[in-house]
Amino acid sequence: MAKFLGKSCHGLYGDNVEEMDWMVGKILNSLDKQGLKKHTFTYFASDHGGHLEAHDGSAQLGGWNDGKGMGGWEGGTRVPGVFRWPRVLPAGAVIDEPTSLMDIFPSVVHLAGGILPKDRRGVWVTMYLFYTSGNCDVYQGKQWSCLKIWLILCLFPITCVSDPSKPNFLLILVDDLGIGDVGCYGNDTIRTPNIDDLAKDGVRLTQHIAAAAVCTPSRAAFLTGRYPIRSGMASSTRQRIIFWNGCSGGLPPNETTFARILHQQGYSTALVGKWHMGVNCRSRHDHCHHPLNHGFDYFYGMPFSLLNECQGSDEPQLAKSLQDTYWLYTQMIILAVLTLLFGKLTNLFPVKWKIIVCLAICGVLYFLSWFSSYGFTKYWNCILMRNHDITEQPMNLEKTTSNMLKEAVSFIERNKHRPFLLFFSLLHVHTPLITTEKFQGRSRHGPYGDNVEEMDWMVGRLLDAIDKEGLKNTTFIYFASDHGGSLEARRGNTQLGGWNGIYKGGKGMGGWEGGIRVPGIVRWPGVLPAGTVINEPTSLMDIFPTVVHLAGGKVPQDRTIDGRSLLPLLRGTAQHSGHEFMFHYCGVFLHAVRWHQKDSGTTWKAHYATPAFQPEASGACFGRGICPCFGDGVSHHDPPLLFDLSQDPSEENPLSAHTEPLFDTVTRRIREAVEEHRKTLTPVPQQLSPYNNIWKPWLQPCCGTFPFCWCDEENNKADSIV
């Protein structure tokens, strides 16, 4: 350009160098203008040394060094090399170790999360380093080791600033949402534009499977990547979820969650919303099961779950399911204590006082639990916490939605300059349906439809917060439900639970697709191909290895991890799921097994037990409230009911040896897989045992003087942002 001619003191070559520098500056200014400076790895170099022989008469037209074309002399091979990555690479640093232009290949591949080719490594018997003096040394590998250390420091810096090599994570888990409730999964009457846009911009999973059909075990599996039976979070009784804040059961402290690993990797981690995996073990304040003891830096939400008792307007849920059981157990234990006491005092049979006292204590606990179910559930279970402190007891449901959303948005704003994990665990769309006035009456499907549409709006507000902070391209977003919609949730003729589309069954049914097949959407602009649909079997447990891998952590090697990384499927580098078999439990009872036969593309499913519907053809257990896992409410099948989900996803037409030539082969292979799977199971304490799941006064969280527990610290907070 004419503007640079004659500007330097080194003739045409100097002019050209200065113009080149100006061009570099324009590119850097463009990065700054677009707000990309902190998120861009910038590298500057030359392809080789300057050309000494380039002359125009006496004018030098080449660079200054020992010379282009001289393969051994430093002037022909040593070039400028400058890196910039603000807040990741140390500014002003000078590295004197040998490096190469070829090092850029593994560096950028590693930073982008790729894998180096394994099929093209050259074999050098001996490598030499040549120096300008003419001497040479045998290459010892020290230089490359130093470079690898430098790369590791760059990839995993010990710093509180944002690291572009680590994406942020926004994990959204809805409560009780049916797969048929969302527009992008076929619903054309409930409006879910924000979720639909998320699927349009990301990847939609059509065979996304929960590890359990009820809340507590499904969430335990989601956080740990392990079947609930491995952590003791699967029940052998009819109590399949945590029933009290004041019980001793919960997610064991020795379980490793993805939040704990990401915290160790320098992430800021938060859980906003529902926990429902226990609080205390031995005392009211030990918080051994609390989110902050499982890797989360910040918690705001319910340690329990929504119940009708929290609202007080509908039929009590907990009381309905527990009162008869607690009263029966109380009577049985009292009778046993009186019998043993009579035998002890009359010397009819020997019995230790310790046994009598222990039974008496159990009887008292069951009596207290029975008594508490009459009117006290709202105070014991419907509480709101910020970290370790109770802020509302009982909760004020009118502001719950705005408070949860405000806390989630605030966390994003506070942590926009550092990598973060936000697990937004919605209370929507579980009963009671706490829908704000703004959304009441808006949908075509009554209170449930209103609640779903408000949930979609909340998702949209979170996405807006991500976009506003310029984090869209650096945030891995995941959306799912913890299990299928509840078919039995009704008020008269009004349906208060979700719709599971074409899939049979619903919440509580461990084997049928309607209870475990859920929506699953992943978005990461620029990394995952937009608008992709994946039909391969995937699991909520897959999120554990996926986020751990992306965050630079390591999956634990001292335990079985049942999840499989979704990255190969999401990026299109693999055609098939990492799951060959999936085991569908109802409590500790194996109800069904899925076999993904990859060579044929067929997905088989064998049912060993199915719930007995009430009424018989209703497709649900209306007479029980929720379908049981064992007993007279279950039908057992030998041989199992076999379905080809590839052809019959609704599970309407069971196959037999007469209709399917491969019936015996398939059922035999599935039976072998079950035997292999059971060999990997080890006995663990049952967190949902009757003793662990009974209310204990000394474990009850209380913000006042027990039993007078009441507080409302949220009432003085800022006005709603709804």
Catalytic residues: 215, 276
> 112: which residues sit within 8 A by CB, 6+ positions away?
none
DSSP annotation of 515: H
- Ramachandran sector of residue 179 (left: φ over 0; alpha: ψ -120 to 50; beta: rest): alpha
Tell me the torsion sign for CA atoms 644, 645, 649, 652.
positive
> What is the C-alpha separation between 52 and 13, in angstroms, rounded?
12
DSSP annotation of 631: G
Q: Which of 476, 517, 500, 509 is nearest to 620 (CA)?
A: 509
| Phi, psi dihedral angles at 55 (to 5 degrees) | -135, 155
> 455: which residues sit within 8 A by CB, 6+ positions away?
174, 177, 426, 428, 429
CA distances (Å), 489 to each of 238, 416, 447, in order?
18, 40, 12
CA dihedral defined by 712, 718, 720, 721, rounded to 10 degrees?
Answer: -140
Q: Give the neighbor-by-neighbor strand order of the sheet with 581-586.
A: 581-586, 589-597, 602-611, 634-644
Task: Give SS3 for 607.
Answer: strand
Question: How does DSSP assign 413-433, residue by residue?
Answer: HHTTTS-EEEEEE--TTSSS-
CB 172 within 8 A of CB 477: yes
> What is the C-alpha separation between 83 and 28, in angstroms, rounded?
13
Interior angle at CA 238, CA 232 and CA 241, nearest 5: 50
CB 378 within 8 A of CB 312: yes
DSSP annotation of 257: P
CB 479 within 8 A of CB 520: yes
Cα–chain-centroid distance for residue 445?
Answer: 30
User: What token pair was written down for 145?
Assistant: 């080791």
Question: How does DSSP assign 109-124, residue by residue?
Answer: HHHTT----SS-----
User: Contacts for 653-661 with beta carbons within 8 Å, 24 or more apart?
Assistant: none
CB 300 within 8 A of CB 450: no
Q: Which of 282, 273, 219, 283 is nearest to 251 (CA)?
A: 219
Strands 59-60 and 55-56: antiparallel
Strands 168-174 and 420-425: parallel
Q: Which of 447, 448, 436 is nearest to 399 (CA)?
A: 436
Question: How does DSSP assign 466-491, residue by residue?
Answer: HHHTT-GGGEEEEEEESS---SS-EE
CB 408 within 8 A of CB 422: yes
Buried b or exposed e, range 162-174, using 16+ CB within 10 angstroms: bbbbbbbbbbbbb
- Ramachandran sector of residue 106 (left: φ over 0; alpha: ψ -120 to 50; beta: rest): alpha
> What is the C-alpha separation between 655 and 662, in angstroms, rounded?
10
Cα–chain-centroid distance for residue 148?
Answer: 31
User: What token pair was written down for 325?
Assistant: 């059981």
